Amino acid sequence: KNHNYWESRGVPFEKPVFFVGNFYKILAGKQHISYRMREIYNSFNTPYIGIYIFHQPNLVIKSPDLVKKILVKDFDKFINRRVATNEAVDPIATHTLFSAQDQVWKNLRAKISPVFTSGKMKLMFPLMKECGSDLVEYLDKRNGEVVEVRNMTKKFAVDIISSCAFGINAYCLKEESSEIMKVTTKLMDLKSFVRTFSIFSYFFAPMFVDIFRLTFVDKTSSNYLVKIFNTTIKERQKQNIVRHDLIDLLNNLKQKETFNDSYKFDDIKMAAQAVAFFSAGNDTTSLAISFVLYELALHPEIQTRLRKEITDIFQKYGDFTYEAINEMKYLDMVLNETLRMYPLTSFLNRKSATKYTFEETGFTLDEDVSIIVPVAGLHFDPEYFPDPEKFDPERFSDANKHKIVPYTYLPFGDGPRNCIGQRFGILASKVALAFSLKDFVFEKAAVTSVPLQFEARSLFMTNKSGLQLKAVRI
Ligand code: HEM
């Protein structure tokens, strides 16, 4: 019955498949969502396109001007994501920054933001460097071998988030088998049908979350992280330890709360942020590093140029300091181009808080309609990024970057609800790349799959069956 929603409102739409709508291939595990986004984006030349996910109408926004309105100018009318929030079923997911709604989100975002200032990044930098050295040690043990880079970068990401956010030495790179590594891998693992179904239902079919009582992340893993989090807080209080990390910040906020505070932390709300940092920061950061190394292995000339920059700046400072890493312009260009070609989250999501009229067309959107910004479509549009399949860091050089049309490059989203961990994710990725590329050359091996195949079931752009590259010490 709902499948005539867009037609009856005069909105250009993609014809849905009975019952399942327009995400049939994704649900069947035949296509990654990133490719679906690109197909929908390319099949219409209109500012927006109507689609259905099951019975639910979604509006895919193609025009960068409209993207700006939704993410920034009229943010208050699109403040929330359209994700399931069922506190009784999943209190942890409901209280994460990612899922929180309206004023609760505003209060929480304001409270958490101080963790991610440049000043805080600088304070965390020595901890990040320790993880960089561990990465070199890890590679040294495998010198000349084909390394499973996905596994290596996951270990690095868990180590760095555990250390910088929670003051926990996870030792994933140092030790073959680490409990926290197993737990965080399971957290968003989509190998089982139930996990895939749960995560997709949170975004696209919230009714199933209520019916089947589904949780956003794996429950045993989140319970484990909550336990570590609570133990660490108690330990800190007992021993009066100060580390300026997330745990300290949350703890201070809780201590300073007054009766009149509109948002009060309890144990669940505090622990939810810990789980969110792992679920939002771990796969994203580790995939970003992996894809850079992969592209560098396929483009040795770019790898050589980047290594020269890293070595020159290292020699200038005599060390990898915070300032040294930030001076590496070519590293920044290479990372930016990688995130263009591999937008880890292929789409952004919002919902309309009220009825909203698009001035450009006069069309009035109903309240509570899901909005999709097809990041993968924008990043591969030849009008904005000529020859989009070519890996070309020059797009982000000082001479060229001003040519990028605003709101066509969105690896971290935009507006007040953009990625809060952007600074952290970028710095952590740069530390991993500077440390490993200074001492090692990464080469394509016979087993390296070119082009990469993506895991259809994954929400992030995750490649299938790992990523093998040969690592050779210089
Ligand atoms: C390369 C690494 C990363 C990428 C590409 C990335 C990308 C994104 C994107 C696209 C969004 C949605 C933004 C929007 O809707 O406008 C997001 C949200 C978010 N990210 Fe990241 N992310 C990365 C790393 C991290 C890290 C390291 C953390 C935490 C330590 C983190 C925490 C979050 C949170 C909490 C949100 C929800 C923000 C809110 O709703 O207020 N991310 N991220």
Query: Could you tell me where the beta strands, DSSP code E, fall in 125-283?
Result: 146-148
The 8-class DSSP code of residue 463 comes to B
**Which residues have CB under 8 Å from 192's CB, separation 6+?**
none
Report which of 437, 380, 383, 387 is spatially closest to residue 410, judged by C-alpha positions: 380
Q: How far is the CA of 318 from the centre of ligand 1 (A)?
A: 33
Of 54-68, 267-281, 327-341, 433-447, the poorest mean pLDDT is in 267-281
48-53 sheet: strands from edge to edge: 48-53, 56-61, 370-373, 348-351
Q: How far is the CA of 436 from the centre of ligand 1 (A)?
A: 24
State the average pLDDT over residues 191-198.
76
Q: Whose CA is nearest to atom 27 of ligand 1?
A: 281
* Nearest atom in ligand 1 to 412's CA: 10
Is the pLDDT higher at 189 or at 446? Answer: 446
- Say whether pLDDT at 234 is over 90: no
Q: How far is the CA of 362 from the centre of ligand 1 (A)?
A: 33
Strands 56-61 and 370-373: parallel
- Say whether pLDDT at 459 is over 80: no
In this prediction, residue 15 carries a pLDDT of 94
| Angstrom distance (rounded) from CA 13 to CA 10 | 9
| Angstrom distance (rounded) from CA 94 to CA 273 | 11
Q: How far is the CA of 346 from the centre of ligand 1 (A)?
A: 12
Inter-residue contact 316 to 309 (CB < 8 Å): no
Q: How far is the CA of 388 from the centre of ligand 1 (A)?
A: 24
In this prediction, residue 72 carries a pLDDT of 98
pLDDT digits (tens, 9 = 90+) for 201-215: 888 888 888 888 888
Tell me: is residue 131 an annotated ligand-binding position. Answer: no
| Angstrom distance (rounded) from CA 200 to CA 349 | 13
Q: How far is the CA of 59 from the centre of ligand 1 (A)?
A: 22
The 8-class DSSP code of residue 70 comes to I
Ligand 1 mutation pick, 291, 292, 347, 412, max ligand atoms within 8 A of CB:
412
In this prediction, residue 199 carries a pLDDT of 80
State the average pLDDT over residues 367-389.
97
* Nearest atom in ligand 1 to 415's CA: 16
Q: How far is the CA of 280 from the centre of ligand 1 (A)?
A: 6
* Nearest atom in ligand 1 to 157's CA: 27
* Nearest atom in ligand 1 to 287's CA: 1
In this prediction, residue 152 carries a pLDDT of 97
* Nearest atom in ligand 1 to 161's CA: 30
Q: Whose CA is nearest to atom 21 of ligand 1?
A: 419
Percentage of the chain surpassing pLDDT 90?
Answer: 60
Share the mean pLDDT of the chain.
91
Of 59-63, 237-241, 468-472, the poorest mean pLDDT is in 237-241
State the average pLDDT over residues 400-426.
97
Q: Whose CA is nearest to atom 37 of ligand 1?
A: 98
Helix axes 219-239, 246-256, angle to 10 degrees: 70
In this prediction, residue 456 carries a pLDDT of 79
Of 119-128, 306-315, 390-399, the poorest mean pLDDT is in 119-128
Q: Whose CA is nearest to atom 18 of ligand 1?
A: 419
Q: How far is the CA of 397 from the centre of ligand 1 (A)?
A: 24
- Say whether pLDDT at 89 is over 90: no
CB-based pocket (< 6 A), ligand 1: 97-98, 109, 276-277, 280-281, 284-285, 288, 344-345, 348, 411-414, 417-421, 424-425, 429
Q: How far is the CA of 413 from the centre of ligand 1 (A)?
A: 8
State the average pLDDT over residues 193-198.
78
- Say whether pLDDT at 347 is over 90: yes
Ligand 1 mutation pick, 67, 419, 426, max ligand atoms within 8 A of CB:
419
Helix axes 300-317, 267-298, angle to 10 degrees: 120
Q: Whose CA is nearest to atom 9 of ligand 1?
A: 412
In this prediction, residue 37 carries a pLDDT of 94
Of 48-52, 139-143, 237-241, 292-296, the poorest mean pLDDT is in 237-241
Q: How far is the CA of 70 from the centre of ligand 1 (A)?
A: 18
* Nearest atom in ligand 1 to 348's CA: 15
Q: For residue 239, name the pLDDT band (cuts at 50, 70, 90).
A: confident
Token duo for residue 119: 């000043």
Report which of 217, 322, 338 is spatially closest to residue 277, judged by C-alpha positions: 217
In this prediction, residue 229 carries a pLDDT of 84
In this prediction, residue 341 carries a pLDDT of 97
| Angstrom distance (rounded) from CA 142 to CA 158 | 20
In this prediction, residue 214 carries a pLDDT of 85
* Nearest atom in ligand 1 to 345's CA: 10
- Say whether pLDDT at 165 is over 90: no
* Alpha carbon distances (Å) from 60 to 202, 271, 348, 368, 472: 18, 34, 10, 14, 45
Is the pTM higher than 0.90?
A: yes
Q: Whose CA is nearest to atom 11 of ligand 1?
A: 419
